[in-house]
Structures are given as structure tokens and as C-alpha cells.
Homo-oligomer: A and B are copies of this chain.
Amino acid sequence: VENNNDKELVKLLNEFHYADIAEILDELDLDDSIYVIKLLDSETTSDILTELDEDTREKVLKNLSAKEIAEEVEELDTDDAADIIAELPEERQEEVISKIEDEEHREEITELLKYQDDTAGGLMAKELVKVYETWTVAGCLRRIRGQAKEVTRVHSIYVVNKEEKLIGRLSLKDLIVAKNDQKIADIAKDNVDFVNVIDDVEDVAKVMAKYDLEAIPVVDDSQTLLGRITIDDIVDVLKEEAEKDYQLAAGITQDVDSDDSIIELTRARLPWLFLGLIGGVGAFVIMEGFQEAFNQYAVLFFFTPLIAAMAGNVGVQSSAIIVQGLANDDIKGSINRRLLKEMSLATLNGIILAAFLFLFVWIYIGEIDKAIAISTSLVAVIIIAGLIGTFVPLFLDKRGIDPAIATGPFITTSNDILGILLYFWIAKLILGI
């Protein structure tokens, strides 16, 4: 398909959705991608650009002139345009912005670039349909016909007073159902949800998911309407959040995916493995320290992987439930009540598991004192592991640190060491060494 016959190719590609073309380009090599992008008109390619992988987009943009990027950006909604420009190196940003011909578009994009990535301001677009409370329905419909051409989808119509402050909302449906001579102020709904421009995107996502909103207006501290956020952007935020938490739980930092280079993947994975290595060395030092004491009881050493695995698993289970509860705002009440509950739960699970282990050791080794020592330690280790798994994320959250880092290797490693230490202490006590 690639080499000749441009016309055929354009015809073929025009039948695809831009998201599909972006997927194809992600797979092609760079020269071919740029060739295709230069071939298609900027209306299609601008949408393709927004859907490309970040890495591919960076490479493609490097090969386009500032003028060409400005043309692409001109076709996009302000939020997507600002996102693309924000990815460019700083000198290029200014160059591209200066080449945008539409003055209003240029000013809006410049405004959006000022907001932090992870705030409502960084997510919002300037495109929205705004009406003044003093207009009539008929006048409003006339003007909306004008405004709406720029807005791809009309979610809500926002009603403002003459100081541009948000005072209500309307749906297109309300307008169509209303009589022509009614005043906007009379049919507008005044219970309008909104977020502040500096709100965290995760909070915006929570509000929109909770109230099933498809778009939400963004205001500043004086309630002036600045822009709007739509649910499709929130879907992306939710997916990214979920992926980030999932990766942290698996011991992967940075937002990597399976197609990234080996160097990038190493940078994301090695630090956590190194943590595990330190933990393993710690376990070695502990075991060596108990070597003399347990000279007669070498068999006890063979249970350390079991103890470490149980401590790690219980810790990850309890921390995962807390992290998820925190993300859903489900965690209310005192930390002490949570700890008490986890303690009962861990005790119950611990006793059931220890009963099996007791039977195994008793039957297999045939020494009841060892069986008692090992299974009692297991109960204690499970309880402590559960409490640590519960406490650490709650503590981090109170301190304003993302509790998700407490899951995965962090909790496993600390629980491994503590579990093994506890195991030998208790066994020593019970066996009277």
C-alpha cells in the first residue's frame, strides 16, 4: 500500500476513523507515518495526532515545521491543542503559538497552557455554549446556531449573568421544549454543579462519576465561567489513574507500556527490584543472626519462605482494600476501628491457616513442640502483616502522600523482613532456647 498511488491511499484512509488511522501509524515506521500525515488534510491529521501514542507523536512533531503544527492545532479544540503544544520543547511552543492565525484560538490556548496538567484548568476546553440570563428562548436559539458550529458536541448550555458569572444551566432539550418568548432566567436550572479551575482532576472525576455528569463547567474563585470539562476526558483520567495504581501495586513506576524500550522498562522496574534485593539481604542477616540459637532446629529455617510469602500476601491484600476504599471515599470513621477489624480478620484467617500448617508439621516432622512454635508464629505474623498493610496506606493518606505506593513491593519487602524476625523470636520463646 505504501509506496505509490497516493490518491488510492488517501481514498482508502478517508474511509477509516481517525482513531483507527492513529493505530496504524503507531505501527508504521516514522518516515511512512510522516508521509501519510503530510498526505491527508489537516482536519483529519489533527485528530489523528491527538490519538497517537505519546512517543510516536513526539517523533512526528519533530519532523513537522512550526507552521505545519500551527495548522494542525488550528483544527483542534482548545484543550487538545493546548495538550499537544505543552508536549513541545519550550522554544518551539512559542514559535508554534505565534503562527496560529485565529487570534481568539491563540489567546485561549495561551491561557490553557498556564494551568497545571493535573488540575481542572489543565483538562478543560474553552469551547462551550454560553447564554445570558436576559435573553429570550428565540434569541437564544438564534445565537446558539452561531456558537454551536464551533462546538463539536453541545452537552449543556451555561447561563451567565452580565458579569460572566455562572448562575445556571440549560439543556438543548429544555430550549426546544420551551416557548419562544420565555426568558432564559425563567427556564434555567439553578442547581448547576461546577468545579474550580485549580481542583485536582481526580476530584473532578469523582464528582462527575458520582453525579453521572457528561460535562461540568469550570469557574474561578469569583464564579466566573472559564471553560468546561467533558466526560470523555474524564474516562481517560480514570483509565490512567487505574493503570498507575495497578502498576504501582505490581512494582512499576512511571507510566510505561509493553511497547516501551528495554531502557524505559528497566528504569520503571529496577528500583523496586533493588528494594526487594535489600529486603532479601536483610532477611539473610536476620537468619544468620539466629543461626547459632537454632543449631538444633535447622528445620525451622526451611519455613522462612512460607512465613515471608504469607506476610507479603496478607500485607498486599489488606493494603489493596484500604487503597481502593480511599480512592472511592469509602473510608470513614477512625483508624483504630479499621485496625481492630483487620485484626479480627487476620486472626480468623491466621488460625485457619495455622491449623493446616500445624497438622502438616506434626505429621511430617512428628515433633509437636516445633509444630506449635511454627503455627503460633504464623498467626502472629499474619496479624502483624495485616495491621501494617492497613496502617501504612491510611497513614500515608493522612500525610497527603499517594497511598498507592504502599502496595506492592514496598509492603511485601517490609513485611517479609518483619515477618521473618517475628517468626524466629516467637519460635525461640516457645521452644525455650
Contacts and interface: CB of A to CB of B under 8 A. Distances in A.
Contacts of A154: 171-173
Contacts of A382: 273
Contacts of A341: 262
A407 interface: yes
A310 B291 CA distance: 23
Interface string A195-206: 000000000000
Contacts of A330: 257-259
Given A176-B145, A301-B302, A258 B321 contact: yes
Interface stretch (A112-120, A182-190, A208-216, A220-228): A208-216
B212 A257 contact: no
Contacts of A412: 309, 312-313
A151 to B, nearest CB: 8
Interface of A: 17, 19, 27, 141, 144-145, 148-149, 151, 153-154, 171-173, 176-177, 209-214, 231-232, 234-236, 238-239, 242-243, 245-247, 249-252, 256-259, 262, 265-266, 269-270, 272-274, 276-277, 279-281, 283-284, 287-288, 291, 298-299, 301-310, 312-314, 316-317, 319-322, 324-325, 328, 330-332, 338, 341, 344-345, 348-349, 352-353, 356-357, 360, 382, 407-409, 412-413, 416, 420
Contacts of A211: 17, 19
Given A231-B235, A252-B320, A257-B325, 7 more contacts: A154-B171, A172-B172, A256-B321, A257-B321, A276-B309, A279-B309, A280-B307
Contacts of A17: 211
A95 to B, nearest CB: 29
Looking at A153, A176, A317, the one whose CB has the most chain B CB atoms below 10 A away is A317
B283 A246 contact: no
A46 to B, nearest CB: 14
A287 B236 CA distance: 48
A344 B330 CA distance: 42
B232 A214 contact: yes
A241 to B, nearest CB: 8
Given A305-B308, A309-B412, A324 B277 contact: no
Contacts of A324: 243, 246-247, 257-258
Q: 10 closest A-B pairs (Cβ-Cβ)?
A: A280-B306, A250-B320, A242-B242, A258-B325, A283-B305, A287-B302, A212-B232, A284-B302, A172-B172, A276-B313
Contacts of A308: 305, 308-309
15 contacts: A144-B176, A172-B176, A214-B231, A242-B246, A250-B316, A258-B331, A259-B330, A269-B345, A270-B352, A277-B357, A279-B309, A283-B309, A284-B305, A305-B416, A313-B412
A201 to B, nearest CB: 14
Contacts of A348: 262, 266
Contacts of A310: 273, 276-277, 280
A148 B176 CA distance: 10
A166 to B, nearest CB: 17
Looking at A153, A212, A382, the one whose CB has the most chain B CB atoms below 10 A away is A212
A293 to B, nearest CB: 14
A420 B306 CA distance: 12
